[in-house]
Every structure is written in C-alpha cells, then in structure tokens.
Amino acid sequence: MRKIVIPFIVLSLTFATACKNKTMKSTDAKVPLATKEAKKLEKHGDVRVDDYFWMRLSDDQKNALEKDAHTKKVVSYLEEENVYYNEVTKPTKPFQEELFEEMKGRIKEDDSSVPYKDNGYFYITSYKVGNQYPIYSRKKENLEAKEEILFDVNEMAKDFDYYQLGGLNVSNNNKLIVFATDTVSRRQYFLRIKNLETGEIYKDIIENTSGGSVWANDNKTIFYTKKDPVTLRSSSVYRHVLGTPTSDDVEVFHEKDDTFGTYVTKSKSDKYIIIGSYSTVSSESQYLDADNPTGEFTMIQPRERDLEYSVSHFGGHFYLLTNKGNATNFKLMKTPISKTSKENWVDVIPHREDTLLEDFSIFKDFLVLEERTNGLNKIRIKRWDKKEDYYLPFNEETYSVGVYANPDFDTDVIRYSYNSFTTPSSVIDFNMNDQSKEVKKEQEVLGDKFKKENYLSKRVWATTRDGKKVAISMVYHKDTALTKNTPILQYAYGSYGYTIPDSFSTTRLSLLDRGFVYALAHIRGSEYLGREWYDDGKMLNKKNTFNDFVDCSQYLIDNQFTSPKHLYAMGGSAGGLLMGAIINMNPELFNGIIASVPFVDVVSTMLDDSIPLTTGEYDEWGNPNEKKYYDYIKSYSPYDQVEAKDYPNIMVTTGFHDSQVQYWEPAKWVAKLRNLKTDKNLLFLDTNMEAGHGGASGRFDSLKETAKMYTFFLALEDKIETVKN
C-alpha cells in the first residue's frame, strides 16, 4: 500500500444564521479530503472500486499500545474530521451547552426505580445528584429494612472513559451475584462473581462473554455464553464451578452453524436451564434440570428452517411462542415435558391474522399476553380456569405499553409500564383479580415549562406507491401550526422486525418547544402491522423500507405539514442505512439528515464473514455470495450508490470501538460524499474515539451527544433561541 497523505481544502462556510446576537460568521475551516487509493473488489464478475478501503483497521491495530504508521494515518483522518466538525460548529457550542443544561434540568437527578421483589428481596436502582451511573441495592423482605449496596457503578467507572455494568444475576440462596463489565464498548463482557455476605469479589474472571449467565440450583455452578473472538458471534455455552480455574470450564454446547447464535437462560420456575440457538428465521432449544448441572441437555425440537419458537415452563408443560404451521403472527402452544417434539404441540392461543402475539408471561393463576393489533400494543389477561379473559383499557390514539419486571410466579399483581408521546412513563401495578391498579411511579419532568396539555399527538396514514398504508405518529406543541413552513424531524428504523414505540421523551421537548414536529414513520421492516409487515421489508423486499419512508415524506409535504426546506430525517444503525438510501434516492426532499452509526457499506460488509454479525444476518439482508442478492444489495447500498449530485446537509456519527457497525463504514461514506457531492451544504463526521455502537455510557454524556444532534437541526432552522413558554 502506498503512503497515505490526507490533504485539505479550504472552504468558506456559514453553519447557520441564528437568532438575535447568535448570528454566525463565515468560518475558514479545513475540510478533510481523504486520499483515494483504488482497491478493486470483484464478485460475480462485477468489479467495484473502493477508494477508501484503506480506512479499515483490525482490532489489534486499534488496540495496540504502539500504533503503526497505517493506524496513525487512519486515526489522524478521523481526528481531522472531528477538528473540522468542532471548528465549523464552534459558534454553536454555547448553545449546545445551554441545550444540554436544559435537557439535564428536566431530569430528576436524585431518583430511584420502583422496587421489585424477587426471592425475598426488594431490588432498587437509584441515582444521586451529579452521578453519571446508577447504584444497585436491595432490602430484605420489606422496604423498611436496611439497604444493602450491591454496586456503586460511579466508583467502578471512575478510572474509565467508558463503563458498562450489566448481567446482574443473584444465586438462589441470595449470597452470590454474577456481574458483567465492558470498558471498551465492544460488547465483549468480563464476568465476575461477588460474595454479597462478605463483599469479596472472587478471582474468577471469565473473558469475552455475552454478559449473561445462569445459576444452577447448587449455588456454585454458572452457565454462560462465550463469543467468537473475531466475529463476536455468541457461539458456545460453558459451565463454570465457583473456585475452579476458568481454564477448566467445560464447553457444554457449541453452535457449529455460523448463521446461528446461542444463549443460555433459566425458566421463571427455576426448574430448568435452557440453551437456545437462533437465526433470523429458525430456532431450537434444549433443557436441563437445574438441580443436575452436570447432566446432559435434552432437545425440545430440532431446528427447521422457518420454524421459530421460544420456551417457558409451567407445571408439566413447556409453553411455546411459535410460528408453527404458517402462524405468521405467532401463536401460543404447549407440550408435555415428556413429549416435546412438534407433533405433540397443541394450541393454547390460536393464530390470528389481525393480531401479532409479541410475548407472554405465566403466573400461577393467570396467563398474560402482549399483543399488537393495527399498530397498537395491548395487554390481555386470561385466567387458567377460563373464568376471565379481558384487555386492559388504554384510551390515547397512540401509546406504548409493556409488561414490566414480574419475577414472582405466585402473585395476582402484574407490573406494567405505560407512556405516550405526551404522557410521561408510569409504572403501574395491576391486580388481575379485582382489576384495580396502583400507579407506583410517574416519571417526573422537572421545571415549570412542561405541561402535558401543551402537547398534541396524532396518527396519520400515508399511502405508498404500491398501495400500502403506513402510519406516521406525530407529536408537537399545541401552538405549532402545521404548515409548509413547519420544521418536521422524521424518524424511522425499519429493520429486524423491531417496532419503535410511540414513547415519551424529555429530551425531545427541546425540539417541540422550538416549533419542531416529531414524526415517527412505522415503515415496513418493523412489525408495526404484524409479522408480514416485517417480511415485506427485508431480503429482496428491502427497498420497500426506503420507499415507505420517502412516500411518508412526500405525504407530509403534499399535505402541507412541511416542505423540503423544513423537512429533516434521522436514523441510527440500520436506520442509518435508511438515511443513506433515501438521500441517494430523493435528496431534494430533505434539508438535513443525521445518520447515527450508519450501516452504509452493505455489500462489502455482508461479503466479509470475519466482521461481527455478518453470517447471522444473511436472512435479514440476503447473502451476496449469491448473485441475485449481490445485485439487489448493491442497487441500494448507500456507499455504492453515492453519485455526483446535490445532497442535503448531513451529520454522521460513529464510535471508534463499534462492534455492530464498524467505524470505517461511516468514515468511508463521508469521504466518498465529500469527493462527489456537488452542493455546498454541510457534511460532518463526528467520531467518539472512546465509545462504540451505543455511544457514551454515562447518563449525562449521552445527553451531550443528543444536544449536539439537536443543535444541528435547530441551527439549520434558525431556531437556536426561539423557545415557546
């Protein structure tokens, strides 16, 4: 490889003209123009030329104490992009800080979760004023008991730029706890064990895990999942015995199929340990008596393509959420533990064409179902003795509801959460016998500006080019008139069947109070309208996702809710792919977009099975080793489809340690856009050199990242100071 030189060109740019005394002056900023080094990539007789392939670094290169020349050049390019972003946006820094303080000011800093009871203890997560991280504690038997601190994450994180604590798992005798830590943001967790009686943290350290673990009932054996060190695929389940060297840990299951991942969990009844294997369209499970940790696992139902199922235990049966028998929207079945193969499965809740069965929870006397109909999720309560079967009532036009932490099996009370675009989140205990409810906590929005009645939400339906109806959930300040001059931020994701909930956000108020409308488009690729809605937005139907978003944008413009001068778009990860696709398709519809950790180099990534996630996602995107998928993916891959034309204002964010979407994808994309675009609009690449896919780990640091992004939109709209009272 020849020497990499990163030259700069100088342009005179005005970031935005703000209100009052915050008018920004033209800034002479050095625009990074990355060196082009042609690399030919050939597949199926097709040759692609990647001029920026050199930006890729291996994990070893990134993490080496002594950086080689190539690594230094790549890091230098990323840092120059950061310098450019900071220089051009320098006039907005005071406002970013004000916005951060504004958003922070709505948060109750001294706060705690609603305690939940599990195996004789109440568990609590709390925050103290000024703290970035939570404190985990518990109280024995009642809330008046002495508080026992399990972990103060603020102390644990003080020497790290990034810190994530997770996977907390208490042994059955309540004396030990497993915990997982990630200090790189690569989602490769260390597992450790703490003695809750003495406070001692044992020497056992298990590296490169998924973060989860399961205790056997002997209180000394744990099962956990290890990741492939290169691809980060969750590939093996191991057994560890407390006090023994981790080198002696036994691999009890290895997932040989590299399109599958694996995990280990425990039934709510504490009776069984379950190993699951999963791909996009298939799954299988094995079980083991938790009293016999050295025993052999027993298969429930061997994997079959297009057969999915998940398992819960109740009495003498396993209950299975499954799509068996072409149950596209899933159904609930059960099978005797002695006869688990699929021919013995019988319906408990049959399949329904108009209702997606998303999840279920089992209690001693009740079955609780989480369903979705016409885009809205519902909670259904059904007695095992069939004396009652009813839905919880929810009255708003659009909302989000879900069953909360309910570890107790023998209870008549379920806990669920409820919120909407205009209603702060509430945690509610509902008595399934007398149907009474108690609001245990409602999210506090501090300050005197927020009043629920000042905000309006509604749902509209856009008709797409192929005749489908796509819901757009909208929220805005009551004083904001919907006209062609109204700024709208349109958001979507549209992949993996994930449905973004219509939920409340305290940070979003900073946009709404300045006249923005937030519009969430429930495009294909999600499961908003059932499993078919997802299937119609993946593989060789993936372009429906992009077309839906563009058609929703056109609907908002045609109905004069906004206009191209005031329409903005935002998405992250696979939603960042969406952003890249729509600005290649119809850049004229948008004034600005933010693509966060965007998956934009789809062809190259899906051809590289050494990259995390690739092999497990062939059934989401298609396998480009087959020509029909290669051609289709290439036809929409944002990096491959960049052209010499005008693009809107663009801000791209990434994390140097991202394991989900490698940093070089957005970096290459920005470099190619800089080289080809014909406009003078803004183009930023902001790389967090200390974080990964999820961004900053502290609760306040993440707000600073949000303030950056909101400032980008507000500055483009000249709304840096305009706030409604």
Catalytic residue IDs: 573, 658, 693
Q: Is 21 helix (H, G, I), strand (E, B) or coil?
A: helix
> Please, where are the H alpha helices in 355-447?
none
Residues with Cβ within 8 Å of 93's Cβ and at least 6 positions away in sequence, in order, are none
453, with CB counted inside 10 A (0-12, 13-18, 19+), is exposed
C-alpha separations of 600 from 27, 213, 446, 649 in Å? 30, 33, 39, 17
Helix pair angle (543-558, 627-636), 10° resolution: 30
Structure tokens at 499: 């449905």
Question: What's the rounded Cα separation, in Å, for the pair 571 and 593?
Answer: 8
Neighbours of 103 (CB within 10 A): 21
Number of residues that make up the chain = 725
Other CB atoms within 10 A of residue 73 CB: 19
Burial of residue 75 (number of CB atoms within 10 Å: 0-12, 13-18, 19+) = middle
User: In whole angstroms, what is the distance from residue 7 CA to residue 34 CA?
Assistant: 7
Determine the 3-state secondary structure of 59 from DSSP: helix
8 A C-beta contact, residue 474 and residue 552: no
Percentages (nearest 5) of helix, strand, coil residues in the chain: 20, 35, 45
Helices vs strands, H then E, count in the chain: 13, 40
DSSP result, 566-593: GEEEEEETHHHHHHHHHHHH-GGG-SEE
Place of tokens 């342009």: 11
As a whole number of angstroms, the distance between CA 401 and CA 427 comes to 10
DSSP H or E segment with residue 95: helix 93-105
DSSP state of 175: S
Alpha-carbon distance of 470 to 463, in angstroms, equals 6
- DSSP helix/strand/coil, 174: coil
- What is the helix (H) or strand (E) element at residue 288, kind and residue range? strand 283-289
What's the CA gap between 693 and 355, in Å, rounded? 33
Residue 398's nearest CA partner among 519, 525, 574, 530 is 519
Cross-strand pairs, 688: 655
Distance CA 151, CA 134 (A): 8
- Dist CA 402 CA 616 (whole Å): 28
Structure tokens at 208: 């490169």
Residue 109 and residue 99: Cα distance in Å, rounded? 17
